[in-house]
Amino acid sequence: MSQRIPELYIHDSQRHGKGVFCGVFIPSGSLIEVCPIILIPEKDMPSIKSTILYDYYFEWEDDGKSGAIALGFGSIYNHDYQPNARYFVDFDNQQIEIHAVRDISPGEEICVSYNGNPEDQSKVWFEKK
């Protein structure tokens, strides 16, 4: 079941296109959103890689051969190397959870590291604008 802080909203981002923001203070450690996913089987991944969905999917399962589109706001969170949130994949329940890793102020964009771990500073597949 999808759940999220009700004050989340999508707005223009200075980072890239649209982003996820919140109208209230979010304390560190808070659950921001639980996003159900649409599973993309391994056989369909070549098709995804040639579409706009390539920039919005999560690698799924340990081998990364399948993918997932996060529903809710899950596929809209932008990347930052010093994120204020982190995502956790729940393979068993086919969902992604977004948690605050530090306090987030009202009006601040909520970002995650696309590398999964906020300490992982590896370059991502695109350059930040």
Cα separation of 77 and 87, whole Å? 10
**pLDDT at residue number 50:** 85
Check residue 129 and give its pLDDT: 41
Give me the pLDDT at residue 76, please.
Answer: 94
Render pLDDT for 99-118 as a digit per residue (tens, 0 to 9): 999 999 999 999 998 765 66
Neighbours of 126 (CB within 10 A): 10
Domains and CATH numbers, the chain: 3-112 (2.170.270.10)
At residue 14 the predicted structure's pLDDT band, cuts being 50, 70 and 90, is confident
Which residues, other chains included, contact 16 with Cβ-Cβ below 8 Å and sequence gap of 6+?
78, 79, 128, 129
From the list 21, 36, 10, the residue with the least C-alpha distance to 90 is: 36
